[in-house]
Structure 1
Amino acid sequence: MQGFFRSYLSVYRPLIQALNELLRPYELSYSLWQVMLYLHEHAQASLVEISNYYGIEKPGVTRRVQRLEELGYLICVPGSDRREKSLALTAQGERIYAECRAQITALETRVTAGIAPGPLEQIVAVFPQLLANLK
């Protein structure tokens, strides 16, 4: 199917820009949000786990973690392996997560307005296969 990538990319960039604009008042960007989202869903994680999940090199995740620590949204917590940092959201990080999550849900609702649930569910179901094919 020709044009799939063009269509996808024509939506991707404006969506990331909208997310960055929404997150800016919290001194966040989409790349920082990804770390917060992962930690919210997993309670605690290591740099390696986050890096592997998103397919991002560890130094990139380290910079994101350092920035989130500076903002007070994330802390290092004792883990089972003292050689590896275990990370978790702070209470402030969880509060900011909840505020941002509500705004992101509102953005998603606005962006998908007028589209029937069936086609949206099909698109969501296709993305894991696309990712698997890329890997």
Structure 2
Amino acid sequence: MQGFFRSYLSVYRPLIHALNELLQPCELSYSLWQVMVYAKEHTRASLVEISQYYGIEKPGVTRRVQRLEELGYLTCAPGNDRREKSLVLTELGMRVYSECRAKITALEERVTAGIGPGPLERTVAVFGQLLGNLK
């Protein structure tokens, strides 16, 4: 079984490196990208929700959000609770998201070339089960 996790890590590290290179022209990293994805998929996302979803400490999410605000990709609006911010992609953030999403999709297609949908779907299911077991 040790070979499974070793194999996973041998793919994970080069993939994150490739993603960071791909995102760098937009001054993004994979960790910043994660926040953008969450904000895109969840209207009015909060720092707490992002922190819980990715299992990241709230100060780490706060730093990422601040950087995305500096870049003009994200804006914070008051949430239902005054202490909680609600995060929304700006118009520029939406354009950058679309541009990066297209590049990431091309990378995903290149990396999974020659692998049929069945094995990929089973792999996604296995990763979901692994995550559930870890939690």
**Is the shorter-chain TM-score for this pair beyond 0.5, marking a shared fold?**
yes
In the TM superposition, residue 125 of structure 1 has moved relative to its aligned partner by 1.1
Task: Report if aligned partners of 1:75, 1:88 keep a CA contact under 8 Å in 2.
Answer: yes
Deviation at 1:83, TM superposition (A): 1.4
Partner of 1:119: 119
Question: Residues 66-81 of structure 1: matches in 2 within 5 Å?
Answer: 66-81=66-81
Q: How far is 1:49 from its partner? A: 0.5
State the 1:38 CA deviation.
0.2
- In the alignment, the residues of structure 2 paired with residue 109 and residue 21 of structure 1 have an alpha-carbon distance, to the nearest angstrom, of 17
Q: CA-atom RMSD, angstroms?
A: 0.7
* Pairwise CA distance, 1:78: 2.8
The equivalent of 2:30 in structure 1 is 30
3-state SS in 2 of match to 1:3: helix
- Mapped partners of 2:63, 2:104: distance in 1: 24
Map Cα deviations across residues 31-62 of structure 1 (whole Å, 9 max, x no partner): 00000000000021111010000000000000
Using the aligned pairs only, state the percent identity: 81
Q: Which runs of 5+ in 1 are unaligned?
A: none
1:90-114, Cα deviation, whole Å (9 max, x unpaired):
0100110000000000000000001
Q: Deviating runs (4+, > 3 A) in structure 1?
A: none
Residues 119-128 or 16-25, more deviating:
119-128
How high is the TM-score relative to the length of structure 1? 0.97
Q: Tell me which residue corresponds to 1:16.
A: 16
Equivalenced residues, count: 135
* Aligned position for 1:107: 107
Q: 1: CA distance between counterparts of 2:129 and 2:52?
A: 18
Whole-Å separation in 2 of the counterparts to 1:55 and 1:36: 16
How do residues 85-96 of structure 1 correspond to structure 2 at under 5 angstroms? 85-96=85-96
